[in-house]
Every structure is written in structure tokens, then in C-alpha cells.
Structure 1
Amino acid sequence: MDKTNTLLFSLFALLLTTSSSKDLCHKDDKNALLKIKKAMNDPYAMISWDSKDDCCTWVAVECGDATLNHRVTTLVIQNDGVSAQIPPEVGDLPYLQTIIFHKLPNLTGEIPPTIVKLRYLRYLWLSWNSLTGPVPEFLSQLKNLEYINLSFNNLSGSIPGSLSLLPKLGYLELSRNKLTGKIPESFGSFKGVVPDLFLSHNQLSGSIPKSLGNLDFNRIDLSRNKLEGDASMMFGAKKTAWSIDLSRNKFQFDISKVIVATTVNNLVLNHNGLTGSIPVQWTQLSLQTFNVSYNRLCGRIPQGGDLQRFDAYAYLHNKCLCGAPLRSCNKII
């Protein structure tokens, strides 16, 4: 190798060394992450975290660009056997925008109040864990939240109505917990866009607030609760809903004059106390999922559209419903 090539090689090696040794990670973020790692008992997802390395290169961590001074913006821990609680030090990552703790069956305890310090937080995803305690009231202080998913935990108590104050919330998923009480009246007046709302598989009771009828939900799932009364306000010709699931509750109302928006693709109303007959208007729907079984419906199933595309299981156990795919109305005595 001649002197010129030797010099170029040396300069290139020096540049590589300088580049690799430059730590973009903010020292406070690194310290907080190392504390989180220790508090969570060095889970597999964090086992490669080395204090000598740039934390922006660590697995499960992302940092922002230069405009955010390369501060940590994302922390994702999932599919891990970690046995711990959510460390309070999570609140010491002030530029965090996304937290995902998902499928950590031994992650226990309550959602720490230090999360309220994360004023840039947009995505809070703490699902399929074993978290307990309430859905925190303090979440309403995080004005940048767009996405909340706390499903598949053991959360209890009532749903804080203050969540409706979040101006950017577009997705609220609280299904598969042990929540009780009524759906908050304030959920009929979300301050921002109308969010996709998932409250299924809880122990919610009482009537749906009439104010919910003023909103145009794209997706709403209230299934498998103890809700009762009239839910007909959830429907309407001028609405643009895509999916409505009210199944396995105690709703009682006459569906005979219920107009379902033609945008609805999934309509699941089984296991309630619905009365009346299926409206002819429902033949205009393009349905992917449909079920009205285990109600008190009567009359002939209208012919046309997608209503005959579903088998008898979508209609069984009603008072006197007849016509394809059930038995002929002529055979009913």
C-alpha cells in the first residue's frame, strides 16, 4: 500500500471511530432508561442495553431527529416474561411520544402517575398485561394523546369522564377489563374528533347516555357488558359508522323503524331483548358481519341484499322470526 492510500485509509478509520463514538443520546435519557432496565429486572428486550453505547441505537428505543436534539421518543417492550411494575422513571423521558408495553403477562401494579409528566405523549399502549387499579384520571392532562389502548388487563372502577376532554383523541380501547359503572355522560361530547370507542368485555351497567346519539362513531363496541335500555340513538341514516357491536347486553328497543347507515359493514346485535321486525332498509347494507340472534324479533326476514348471505345462526332464538335462511313463514302456525 503506497503512502497516499495509507493516509486515506487512516483518515477513513479515524472518521469511523469519531462517528461511532459520538453519542447522540441525551445523558438524562440514558440514565432514565438504565433505571427502567434495572427496575424491570433486566428483561430480555433490554439485555443488550450497554451504558457504553449510544442509547439511540438500543433495541426497543427510538430517538427523534436533530430538531428534537435526539431525545428518546419511543419505548417499546413486548412479548417478554418481565416480572415487574411499570417503573416511575418512565416519566423521566420528557420527550417520549410513544409507550408500548404489550403482552407482558407478569407486568403488574397500577399505571404510575409520573406518566403525567410526558406532555408530548401521543400513543399510550399498555395492553395484554396484568395491570390493576383504575383507569387514571390524570390521563386527561396529556393533551397530545391520540391513542389509548389499555385492553386485556385487570383495571377496575369507573371510566373517567374527563377522557372526553382530550382534544386529539382518536382511539380509546378499554376492553377486556373489570370496569364498572355507567358510560360517562361526557362521552357524548368529545372535545376533538369522535374517537373509535371500544368498551367491550367489562361490567358496565345502566343506560347509554342519550348524548352518544349526537355523535357519529366510525367504530363502537359496547359488547359483553350489562348495559340496558334503548340504544336506537346509535343509528341513523345520516351517520357514517362502519362497525357497531352492541351484543350480549340487556338492550330493549324496537328495531322496526331503525335506519342503519349504508356505510355499516359490521352489525352485531345478538343476545339482547330487541323487539319488532327487521326493516327492509337493512337490505341496502353491504355487510361483512351480521348477527341478531337471541332476541325477541318477529316477522319475515326481508329478501335481498346481504341478509340471506348469513346462515341461520345469525337469526336463531328469536320469538317468531321466519323466512330464509330460517323456516318458511308459511310453516308458522
Structure 2
Amino acid sequence: MALVFRLCLLLMLISPALAVLCNPADKKALLQLKHDLNDPYLLASWSPDTDCCYWYTVKCDRKTHRIISLSILNSVPDTNFSSQIPPSIADLPYLQTLILHKLPNLTGPLPPAISKLTSLSYLTISWTNLSGPVPDSLARLQNLQFLDLSFNNLSGPIPGSLSLLPKLISLSLDRNKLTGPIPDSFGSFNSSPALFLSHNQLSGRIPPSLANQDPSRIELQRNRLEGDAYMLFGPNKTTQMVDLSRNLLSFDVGRVEFPASLISLDLNHNMIYGTLPQGLKAVDFLQMLNVSYNRMCGEIPQGGRLQRFDVSAYFHNKCLCGSPLPACKGLD
């Protein structure tokens, strides 16, 4: 019993030292950040009297105990979180993940301070009321793999400097108020990131340089893009999902070679003309197709997967015919 008592006493003496994991500089930075964000209830667990490695929304590295993740997600609509993103966000130099999601009272521009977080690999600031431009300075985040600035009120052009991010896997700028063209420099990405640029006010032609890219997904729907889209396709690409719907695109679909990897293709509500190419019926894994509301003509290729889609996938074209549409006159 005496030995057990001594062991318990020893553990009581050393446990406070073991419990304190959080780096003092990181803790100071987080407390300043909480203050700058007007002490929201969402961060009530951030108390000076407790170890910051155990605070809500915070994650420490298991070995270094430096703060590597900060994920503030508002699941309660009436939570008081009203502020701009403060410069103190940059005082967490080991941060690898930063998520600010569903914070409708988060306003103002994206601060230049974020570009100092050079360890970031995952940056999500979405479903807020941030406004102003997408800053060029984001190109300094050379370790970034995922950039998600969707569902905000960002405006102005897309900076071409984003193509300097060498490790980028996914770029989400959808559902903002961005204007101007897709940067020609996007053809020089090293990593062919998935592109989510839909629901903006982008205009002009899709840059031919995108022929050099092979992204897994391309979502450009609900913009004002014009002209051709041939560069997004090709027999040697491995793209799986393409949505170009509700733009002003006008090109001959008959000369497009679609990749065999396609799972989903949406071209509806454009001004695309020509005859659907025979090669499209050989796309074995196609699960979604919509070419409605265009100017296509001729017989839908028969004998492949294209008859698995109903009339709504093809209707409101100039003169498309053949199953599942009515038979082509004079071709029976």
C-alpha cells in the first residue's frame, strides 16, 4: 500500500508538467485572435487557465505541440461571430489547416496576413460575407494543396498568380462575384488542380492553354464564357466530370474527342452546334449527360450508353433525333 501511495503522489506531482503541452507563443496568439474576433461564444473554451491543445477547434502536433490546425465552423445560426479576419491570424506560423466556414458575419477583405502562413496546405474560407479581391499574395503559400474560397462575396478578376502554387490539387472559387476571364496562366499549373469556378460572372474565352491541364473535375457553369471548349477534352485526358452549362459557348461538338474517363458531362443551355460524335457512345462509365438547350443536329449515336439517358438530356436542340428522341426522318 505504501508503494502504491508513493506512486500516486509522484503522478500527482508530475502530471501538471505533463498536462501543459501548448506552446506559449501559440497560446498568446490564439488569445489575441479570440480578442480580435470580439470574444465569440464559439470560442468560449479558449481560456487562459487551460491548455490550448485541448481547446475547441484547435489541434496540436503530437510531437512538437505547435498549433497545426484551426477549424472554426459555425453550426449554430445565431452564434455571435461578427468581425473581419484580423492580422493576428498570421501569428500561428506552424498552421497547416485553416478553416473558417459558415460565418455569415465575417466581413471585410481577405487580409494580406494570411500569406504569411507559409506552412498552410489546406485553406478554406467559405460561406462568409468576405468581399473584395482574391489577393495575389496567396501565391506565396507554396505548400497549399486545397484552396477553397467558395460561397463568399469576392469580386474582381481571378489572379493569374495562383498558377504559381506548385502543389495545388483543388481550386474552389465558385459562387462569388468574380469577373473577367479565366487567366491564361492557368495552363501552366504543375499539378492540374480540379477547377471549381462556377456561379460567377466570368467572361471571355476559355484559354487554349488549358489544353495542357488534366484536372479530375472542371466546373465552369453559370458564367458568361464564350467560344470554344475543345481544350478541356481529349482522348489522352483522365478528366471525370465537366460542367459547362449555362454559358455562351459556341463550338462544333462533332470535332471534340471526349476522354474515356468521363463520368459526368453537362453542356446544357449554350449555343453548341454540330452532331454528337460517335466516340461519345464508347465512354463506358458515363453516368450523367445533359446536352439540352443547344443547337445540335443529327442522329444521337446508337448502340452505346447514350440511350440510357432520357429525353430531357437531349431536348430543345435544333434537330437532334434518334432514340431516346423521335426517329430521324429518312434514316429508318
Asked if Structure 1 and Structure 2 have the same fold, meaning a TM-score greater than 0.5 normalized by the shorter chain, the answer is yes
Residue 289 (structure 1) shift: 1.4
Residue 331 (structure 1) shift: 9.0
Counterpart of 1:259 (choices 257, 260, 281) is 257
Structure 2 counterpart of 1:142: 141
State how far apart, in whole Å, the 1-side matches of 2:85 and 2:217 are: 30
Aligned length: 326
Structure 2 counterpart of 1:56: 53
Q: What per-residue deviation string (whole Å, max 9, x for no partner) do you get for residues 283-316 of structure 1?
A: 1112121100000011111123221111111111
1:267 match: secondary structure: strand
List alignment gaps of at least 5 residues for structure 2.
Answer: none
Structure 2 counterpart of 1:43: 40
Q: Does 2:243 match 1:245?
A: yes
1:128 match: secondary structure: strand
Residue 46 (structure 1) shift: 1.0
1:77 match: secondary structure: strand
- Letter of the 1:49 partner, please give it: W
List alignment gaps of at least 5 residues for structure 1.
Answer: none
State how far apart, in whole Å, the 2-side matches of 1:152 and 1:17 are: 44
State how far apart, in whole Å, the 1-side matches of 2:108 and 2:280 are: 46
Residue 319 (structure 1) shift: 0.4
1:307 match: secondary structure: helix
- Seen in structure 2, the aligned counterparts of structure 1 residues 310 and 127 have a Cα distance that, compared at 3 Å, is same
State how far apart, in whole Å, the 1-side matches of 2:91 and 2:11 are: 38
- Sequence identity, in percent? 56
State how far apart, in whole Å, the 1-side matches of 2:192 and 2:7 are: 60
- Seen in structure 2, the aligned counterparts of structure 1 residues 7 and 255 have a Cα distance that, compared at 3 Å, is same
Structure 1 counterpart of 2:168: 169
Structure 2 counterpart of 1:300: 299
- Alpha-carbon RMSD across the aligned residues, in angstroms, is 1.6
State how far apart, in whole Å, the 1-side matches of 2:4 and 2:252 are: 87
State how far apart, in whole Å, the 1-side matches of 2:234 and 2:124 are: 32
Structure 2 counterpart of 1:31: 28
- Letter of the 1:313 partner, please give it: S
- Letter of the 2:126 partner, please give it: S
- Seen in structure 2, the aligned counterparts of structure 1 residues 331 and 129 have a Cα distance that, compared at 3 Å, is farther
Structure 2 counterpart of 1:153: 152
State how far apart, in whole Å, the 2-side matches of 1:102 and 1:302 are: 45
State how far apart, in whole Å, the 2-side matches of 1:331 and 1:155 are: 53
Q: Does 2:198 match 1:200?
A: yes
Residue 112 (structure 1) shift: 0.9
- Seen in structure 2, the aligned counterparts of structure 1 residues 168 and 330 have a Cα distance that, compared at 3 Å, is same
State how far apart, in whole Å, the 1-side matches of 2:294 and 2:127 are: 32
Structure 1 counterpart of 2:70: 75
Q: What per-residue deviation string (whole Å, max 9, x for no partner) do you get for residues 80-100 of structure 1?
A: 532211121100111111100
State how far apart, in whole Å, the 1-side matches of 2:125 and 2:11 are: 45
* Contact kept? 1:45, 1:60, Cα under 8 Å: no
